[in-house]
Amino acid sequence: DHVALVRKYEADVKTIVDAVQGLPGVTAVRTWPNEAGQPLARAEVTLTDGSRLSRNDLQVRLRAGSPSIELSDAGDHGVYVNPQNLHDGEAAAIGVALRQHLR
């Protein structure tokens, strides 16, 4: 069911955006379309000078964690979270990991 799938993707994006709201030097937004040009949302998390970590340092820590998390680069200072690649519950786990590393 395409409608249900889109709702799940939107909920996952909201989970990520909500997880990092209020962290210093971190912004997160819903972006659209996805990298393939499909009309599906994804989350973009951007790290500014006030962030605890650089994008590269964040990526290293996420990859080294358990479970290992691999996110796509969003320019030089951010990451994308594409809900199409996530199973149930993984958006929440990514949100927790992002918050732990960036707070």
pLDDT at 33: 85
pLDDT, tens digit (0-9, with 9 covering 90-100), for 53-79: 999 999 999 999 999 999 999 999 999
Taken in order 14, 62, 72, 83, is the CA torsion positive or negative? Answer: negative
Number of domains the chain contains: 1
Q: Which residue segment(s) compose the domain that 8 sits in?
A: 2-102
What is the per-residue DSSP string for the chain?
A: -HHHHHHHHHHHHHHHHHHHTT-TTEEEEEE-S-TTS-S--EEEEEE-TTSSS-HHHHHHHHHHSSS----EEETTTEEEE-GGG--TTHHHHHHHHHHHHH-
Domain of 37, CATH number, reads 3.90.1150.180
pLDDT, tens digit (0-9, with 9 covering 90-100), for 2-44: 999 999 999 999 999 999 999 999 999 999 987 888 888 999 9
pLDDT, tens digit (0-9, with 9 covering 90-100), for 85-100: 999 999 999 999 999 9
pLDDT at 77: 97
